[in-house]
């Protein structure tokens, strides 16, 4: 009985050590990621403005992405001669979708607001993840087209789960994956990050490719990024709709 109890204690002790070692390894990996990307320098960024294009279904759509602390974001895109707008002011969201049959700004759905709020996080969910209420777990290594990558599972404060893949040598973000619903069916979506460039001391991907069922469905190409430019808060405010006179 005493021998069994002693073995049990040893087992628990070893399990505790293993768990601690994994936690320390995760911390080391994340710290290397922060250092490799220079992400801590983003704390001095009050605004970010990027312009580029989205390529999808053989067509190109110019866009402008504007972000301002705290948690403000606006996306404008030219789609077949019409302007599409998605905007989140830190609390509420609205959009203009010309092909919906109305050019008037409409309130976003709760799911749309949740998505925009996530995008408004300039540094992304891995940075200061504990303060943001997320949970992070190291799942080990995986092969990515000949490169070894650390797979990190992040359970966000809102319950969503994403996987992040960091290059095991450079610690640059290679890919993220998550579950999405298309026409009621759940499938996996992947974002691949390439063409990194130094932007004000921070390594940022200029090309982001989205894959669904291993097929590339869209590609975002960023042509220019400006940091700490003057941005008026008014662009995030939902425009008032003028009643139509009868």
Q: What is the DSSP string of the chain?
A: -HHHHHHHHHHHHHHHHHHHHHHHHHHHHHHHHHHHHTGGGGGG-SEEEEEEEEEETTEEEEEEEEEETTTEEEEEEEETTEEEEEEE-SS-EEEE-GGGT--S-EEPPHHHHHHHHHHT-TT-TTTTTTTTT-EEEEEEEEEETTEEEEEEEEE-TTS-EEEEEEETTT--EEEEEEEEEETTEEEEEEEEEEEEEEETTEEEEEEEEEEETTEEEEEEEEEEEEES----GGGGSPPPPPPPP-
pTM over 0.75: yes
Residue 232's pLDDT is 96
Q: With a cut of 50, say whether residue 107 has pLDDT above it.
A: yes
Q: Is the pLDDT score of 20 beyond 50?
A: no
Q: What is the pLDDT of residue 243?
A: 59
Average pLDDT over residues 77-94: 93
**Quick check: 12 pLDDT over 50?**
no
What is the average pLDDT across 86-107?
A: 91
Looking at the domain assignment, is residue 28 inside a domain?
A: no
What is the Cα–Cα distance from 172 to 193, expressed in whole angstroms?
9
Percentage of residues of the chain with pLDDT beyond 70: 86
At 103, is the pLDDT very low, low, confident or very high (cuts 50, 70, 90)?
confident
- The domain spanning residue 200 has which CATH number? 2.50.20.10
Looking at the domain assignment, is residue 12 inside a domain?
Answer: no
Instruction: State the total domains in the chain.
Output: 1
Rounded to an integer, the average pLDDT of 67-71 is: 96
Q: Worst-scoring range by mean pLDDT, 9-13, 87-91, 136-140?
A: 9-13
Asked whether residue 228 is domain-assigned, the answer is yes
Give a yes or no: residue 244 inside a domain: no
Q: Provide, rounded to the nearest whole percent, the portion of the chain with pLDDT above 90.
A: 72
Domain residue limits at 201: 41-236
| pLDDT value of residue 245 | 58
Is residue 16 predicted with pLDDT exceeding 50?
no
Rounded to whole angstroms, how far apart are CA atoms 156 and 165? 16
Whether residue 47 is contained in a domain is answered as: yes
Please report which confidence band the pLDDT of residue 18 belongs to, taking 50, 70 and 90 as the band edges.
Answer: very low
pLDDT over 70 (residue 8): no
Mean confidence (pLDDT) of the chain? 87
Please state the rounded mean pLDDT for residues 113-126.
Answer: 94
Whether 168 maps to a domain, the answer reads: yes
In this prediction, residue 188 has a pLDDT band, given cuts at 50, 70 and 90, of confident
Mean of pLDDT values over 99-119: 89
Q: Is residue 5 a part of any domain in this protein?
A: no
User: Does residue 23 lie in a domain region?
Assistant: no
**Where is pLDDT greater, at 214 or 8?**
214
């Amino acid at each position: 009985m005493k021998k069994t109890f002693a073995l049990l204690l040893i087992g628990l002790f070893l399990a505790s050590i293993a768990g601690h070692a994994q936690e320390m390894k995760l911390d080391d990996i994340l710290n290397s990621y922060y250092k490799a990307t220079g992400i801590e320098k983003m704390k001095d960024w009050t605004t970010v403005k990027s312009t580029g294009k989205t390529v999808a279904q053989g067509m190109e759509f110019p866009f402008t992405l504007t972000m301002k602390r705290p948690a403000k974001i606006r996306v404008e895109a030219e789609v077949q001669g019409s302007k599409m707008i998605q905007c989140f002011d830190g609390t509420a969201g609205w959009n203009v979708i010309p092909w919906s049959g109305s050019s008037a700004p409409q309130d976003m759905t709760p799911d749309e607001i949740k998505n925009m709020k996530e995008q408004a996080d300039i540094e992304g969910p891995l940075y200061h993840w504990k303060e943001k209420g997320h949970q992070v777990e190291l799942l080990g290594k995986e092969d990515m087209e000949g490169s070894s990558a650390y797979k990190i599972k992040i359970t966000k404060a809102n319950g969503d789960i994403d996987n992040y893949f960091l290059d095991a040598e450079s610690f640059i973000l290679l890919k993220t994956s998550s579950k999405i619903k298309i026409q009621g069916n759940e499938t996996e979506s992947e974002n691949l990050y390439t063409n990194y460039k130094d932007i004000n001391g921070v390594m940022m991907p200029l090309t982001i490719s989205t894959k669904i069922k291993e097929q590339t469905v869209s590609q975002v190409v960023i042509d220019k990024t400006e940091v700490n430019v003057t941005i008026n808060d008014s662009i995030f405010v939902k425009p008032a709709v003028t009643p139509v006179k009868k």
